[in-house]
């Protein structure tokens, strides 16, 4: 197909060690019938591994600052994606998926996941009712969701859709995050909290099951029989600058 899928990952600090498995498994399973452009954001460009890419697939390395605080790295994610869409991705791709690098693909991820705005059910909360969702509940925060509102709890490790729709999402979430920061507020789950607020009032056109965002420490369940993409087991004290 002639469609091009942009795929962004942040490999900052020691997280660059996850990049090879991410890319190699993506080449086997992710959008294999499409043109794919990987955008790797890292403060260690010389540590980006060499991976054989199939025809129609390209990798761009974009240098970004490091940080001594993992929350700051997470906070800059929306800003960096927004500005990169403006400068580059909008001219190079039709769809975009923003994924976490500390993850691997295990099975086919294809055209069934495409949509205007795509979200994924968080693997830790898809069986819970909304009163158990870890939404930001403080009214002072721009990520605030009242107790009697909410559809699902979405995972922040996967955002997708048309480039222009994801651009709007990143711009709004960035602005709200910065407004909170200006008021010395940090939402309960940082950017993920702002993402859930945005998706509550800007409904995704497609919601993917947790098979598209599983966790390696979790066993398969009767509902999730195929694991397509999963976060790897890791020691946060080793890979994060602060825990």
Is residue 29 a contact partner of residue 62, using CB atoms and an 8 Å limit?
no
| DSSP-derived secondary structure for 201-238 | HS--SEEE-GGGSEETTSPP-SS-----EEEPP--HHH
How many CA atoms within 13 Å lie on the side-chain side of 124?
10
Q: Is 119 helix (H, G, I), strand (E, B) or coil?
A: strand
Tokens of 120: 């994924």
Report phi then psi at 3, rounded to 5.
-65, 145
* Angle (nearest 5°) at CA 96 between 117 and 84: 120
Q: Where in the sequence numbering do the catalytic residues fall?
A: 192
Write the CA distances from 151 to 21, 109, 143, 188, integer angstroms: 33, 25, 15, 18
């Amino acid at each position: 197909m002639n469609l091009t899928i942009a795929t962004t990952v942040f490999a900052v600090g020691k997280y660059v060690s996850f990049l090879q498995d991410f890319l190699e498994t993506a080449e086997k399973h992710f959008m294999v019938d499409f043109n794919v452009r990987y955008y790797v954001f890292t403060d260690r460009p010389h540590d980006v591994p060499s991976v054989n890419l199939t025809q129609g697939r390209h990798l761009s390395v974009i240098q970004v600052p490091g940080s001594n605080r993992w929350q700051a790295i997470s906070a800059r994610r929306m800003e960096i994606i927004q500005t990169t869409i403006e400068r580059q991705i909008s001219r190079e791709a039709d769809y975009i998926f923003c994924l976490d690098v500390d993850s691997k693909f295990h099975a086919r991820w294809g055209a069934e996941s495409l949509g205007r705005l795509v979200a994924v059910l968080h693997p830790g909360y898809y069986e819970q009712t909304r009163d158990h969702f870890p939404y930001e509940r403080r009214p002072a925060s721009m990520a605030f969701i009242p107790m009697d509102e909410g559809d699902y709890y979405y995972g922040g490790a996967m955002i997708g859709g048309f480039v222009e729709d994801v651009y709007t999402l990143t711009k709004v979430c960035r602005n709200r995050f910065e407004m909170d920061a200006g008021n010395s507020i940090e939402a309960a789950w940082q950017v993920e909290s702002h993402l859930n607020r945005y998706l509550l009032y800007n409904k995704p056109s497609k919601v993917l099951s947790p098979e598209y965002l599983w966790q390696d420490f979790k066993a398969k369940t009767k509902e999730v029989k195929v694991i397509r993409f999963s976060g790897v087991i890791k020691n946060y004290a080793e890979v994060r600058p602060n825990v």
